[in-house]
Amino acid sequence: MKIGAEADVHLREMTPHDLAGAHALSKAANWPHRAEDWELMLRVGQGLVAEQGGEVVGTVMGWAHGPEIATLGMVIVDGRMRGLGIGRKLVDAMIARLAPRAIQLNATQDGLSLYKSQGFVPVGSIQQHQGAVFSQPMPRLRRGERVRPMSANDEARIVALDQRASGFQRGALFAEVLKQAQGVALDREGEAVGFALFRRFGRGYVVGPVIAPDREGARTLISHWAGANLGMFIRVDVPGDCGLADWLQNLGLECVDRVVTMVRGTPPELQGGAANFAIVSQAFG
C-alpha cells in the first residue's frame, strides 16, 4: 500500500465483493460487527468504499428511511490512511446521495469534529450497555397487560409503532431484520402497544429496537429477553435520556461506551404515543 499519499485513492459504490475488506477494517478498528452484520447492512442500504491498489481503505454506508430522513454510519478509514481527508470525502459523497433528506448519525469522539464541520449538530446521545444477566428480572405487569410472541400479523403494527417513535419509515429494514430476529409484543387490553426484538449481533446478542409507551413497558420488554437468556452476552443501546441506565447497570449490563447522536437538517416530527427506548443499532438508529 502506498502510505502517505492519496492520489491513487478513489471512491466507488460498495458491492458484496467488498464486504470481506470492509469487515477487515471494522475488525482492525475493534468494532464488533460480524460478516453477517455487514451483509444485512448492505442488503437494506447503500455503501461507498475508498479503494487504493485494489484494497478497501475506507467505508461509509447510508440508509434512506422514507423521503424525509436517513441515517449514515460505518465510517471507517484504515489507520494507515487517516489524516488524508478520505473520511470527509466518503461522508460528503454519501450526504449527496441521501439529499435532500435530513441525516442522522451516531458519532464517536474521534468523528465529532468532522461531522460538526459538515453541518451536523448534537441532539442527544446513545449509551452502549452490555454484559450478562444472571438473576431473573421481575417485570411489573399491569392489569390487562401481557408479553407475547410476535407473529407475522404483527409486522405492520410494529412498523407503525416504530414510525411513531422514531419518525423513520423502516418497513424494508424490518422485513429483513425479522428474518433473523425473535420478537415479543407488549399487549395492553388486547392491543399491541410496544415490542422488542432479539437477534445475533457482534459478540453476542442485541436487544433492540425496544419501542414502548412508557419506561415501565420498556423494562418489561427488556426483562423478558434478559430473563430468557440468563448468562448470555447481551447488548442494549439506549438513548441517554431514556431513564434506563441505572436499571440496566443493576441487571449486570454495564455502560461501556457513549456516542453522540447528531442530525444534519430538520428531521420529521415524532407522532407520540410510543417512544424509542433502545435502537436497532448505532448505524441504523
pLDDT in tens, 72-95: 999 999 989 988 999 999 999 999
All domains of the chain in start order, with CATH: 9-100 (3.40.630.30), 128-278 (3.40.630.30)
Residue 117 has pLDDT above 90, yes or no: yes
- Alpha-helical (H) ranges within the chain are 19-28, 35-43, 86-98, 112-117, 155-166, 171-177, 215-228, 245-251
CA distance 283 to 60: 10
The residue among 136, 162, 145 whose CA lies nearest residue 65 is 162
pLDDT at 1: 44
Question: Model confidence over 167-191: pLDDT tens digits?
Answer: 999 999 999 999 999 999 999 998 9
pLDDT at 7: 62
Question: Model confidence over 202-222: pLDDT tens digits?
Answer: 999 999 999 999 999 999 999
Average pLDDT over residues 142-162: 93
pTM: 0.93
3-state secondary structure of 175: helix
222 — phi, psi (to 5°)?
Answer: -65, -40
pLDDT at 2: 44
Q: How confident is residue 198, by pLDDT bands cut at 50, 70 and 90?
A: very high
CB contact set of 96 (below 8 Å; sequence gap of 6+): none
